[in-house]
Amino acid sequence: MKYYVHIGFEVHIRLDTKTKMFCSCSTEEGEPNTHICPVCLGYPGALPVPNKEAFKYAIKMAKALNGKINETVVFARKNYFYPDLPKGYQITQHEPPLMEDGYLVLAESGKKIRIIRLHVEEDAAKTLYDSETGRQGENAFLMVDYNRSGVPLAEIVSYPDIHDPDEGVEYLKTLQALARYLGVSKANMEKGEMRADVNISVSTEPDRLGTKVEIKNMNSFKAIHDALEYEIQRQIKAIETGEPIYQETRMWDESTGKTLVMRRKETSDDYRYFPEPDIPPFKLSKEVLEIEPEYTNLHDLYKEVKSWNIDEKKVGFIVYSPDIYKALKYMIQKGVSPKFAVSMYLDEIKGQLEKVGQQIEEKHKDWTLYIYKLIEEGKIDNSIAKKIIRKAITHSKEPKDIYEAEFSGPGVSEDDIRKTIKGVLAQNPDIVKKYKDGKKSVFGFLMGQCMKAFGGKVPAATVKKLLGEELERV
């Protein structure tokens, strides 16, 4: 029997504002319960004031998702009780949302995933469990950090247009990268700046949804992929054995590799939505509504990077890494060849920095441009370029300083280069004879001896050319 999988996501993305959604408290990390006030703690009589910057970010994201913008904002109270919700309700948008009927184009496949809605809301506080509080046994209890309470979120809800775990991860990676390209969120899953709940159902008919199950408690792409794979098989087995599948919320238990029941699923009626009385409906300003996204379709970027004719495995990494893509694009626009930019900036500089526990920075674009200029002018070759970069990183210096101190020196004339090459050939008569007898593979040995004689200060391309000429003359 053939089974059909339908997956949708509810993704919360933290908007990167300096202050919270309805008060002036900082959104920066700090000691627990230090960025709080009567508003985000839900004190009686404290009045919320919407954050204009949050709507600027949300509008940019909403337009990038190609949906219909609702210019009038209506906030509602979503009622439920939990220690991380001090008011006993969350201020959110119910009907209408900020945006509806949009779509996201997946970066690699180009497939369109329909978006039901994007709405703005406040985050709940952070609950710390035993493993995080350090308390065990009789002393174990939950603790709550209210610094996160009231931080602005954009919730993005998709249709169940996704049909396998790989496609699900591609959707999330595309959404995360888009938020980063637009500068609306850092969207780090490990820091809780992007959180995804999965809705999944399995049926035996392509156009019919099965019973929807929601999965929570996943903080990485791998966990989401693994949870989807497990849940698909669990539901298929239930269908085959006649076991009922309930509409419920399950959590992913990484230690067992299984989804576990948390609770039977609530409906929207359970939350008793009603209009937020402290924030009357208001229309977004022209300034906010006129904001336009710089990026909307990452599949176009994917095709562009693929046209650079680089290693296929690097294409996705570059597209999903906005800072890397923008840096490479900048260098290419400055005349650097795409292959060299990727090789020097991504492989060499980034790779060497990671070995010593450092991160790539803005200045490293200029390092690449400088090294490329030296190579183009014939002053160094790739092997010398790598030596310069590695010394610059090891000694915390600029490539220019390393080059001028160790590799620029007085130029070596062609006559001097030929003289040195002739000396190397004279020292290796047996190798030269093998070359002349047709064993061309020994050229590499002679090349190595010449480069050693020059101490790496003469470009390899020059040595190779003149060595070939001298061998023909022997």
18: its two tokens:
């300096």
Name residues whose C-beta falls within 8 Å of residue 47's C-beta, 6 or more positions apart in sequence: 39, 278
Structural domains in the chain plus CATH codes? 4-289 (no CATH), 321-408 (no CATH), 414-473 (1.10.10.410)
Q: Give 407-454 pLDDT, tens digit per residue.
A: 775 556 788 888 999 999 999 999 999 998 899 899 999 988 988 888
409: its two tokens:
């020196």
**Interatomic CA distance for residues 134 and 137, integer angstroms:** 10
Q: Average pLDDT in the 229-250 region?
A: 94
Residue 173 has what pLDDT?
A: 98
Q: Kindly state the helix (H) or strand (E) to which residue 443 belongs, with its residue range.
A: helix 443-454
Peptide bond into 280 cis (omega under 30): no
Q: Give 18-51 pLDDT, tens digit per residue.
A: 999 999 999 998 999 999 999 999 999 999 999 9
Helices and strands counted in the chain (H then E): 17, 16
Distances (CA, A) of 265 to 55, 84, 248: 30, 20, 4
Write out the DSSP string of 103-149: EEE-TTT--EEEEEEEEEEEPP-EEE-HHHHT--GGG---EEEGGGT
Q: Give 360-389 pLDDT, tens digit per residue.
A: 999 999 999 999 999 888 788 888 899 999
DSSP-derived secondary structure letter, 285: P
Return the percentage of the chain with pLDDT > 70, whole number: 95
Residue 4 has what pLDDT?
A: 95
Look at phi and psi of residue 257 and say left if phi exceeds 0, alpha if psi is from -120 to 50, else beta.
left
Q: CB of 178 within 8 A of CB of 66?
A: no
Residue 148 has pLDDT above 80, yes or no: yes
Mean pLDDT across the chain:
92
405: its two tokens:
């101190």
Q: Average pLDDT in the 352-363 region?
A: 94
Q: Select the more confidently predicted residue: 17 or 142.
A: 17
Residue 187 has what pLDDT?
A: 96
Coil, helix or strand for 346? helix
281: its two tokens:
């409906």
Q: CB of 12 within 8 A of CB of 154?
A: yes
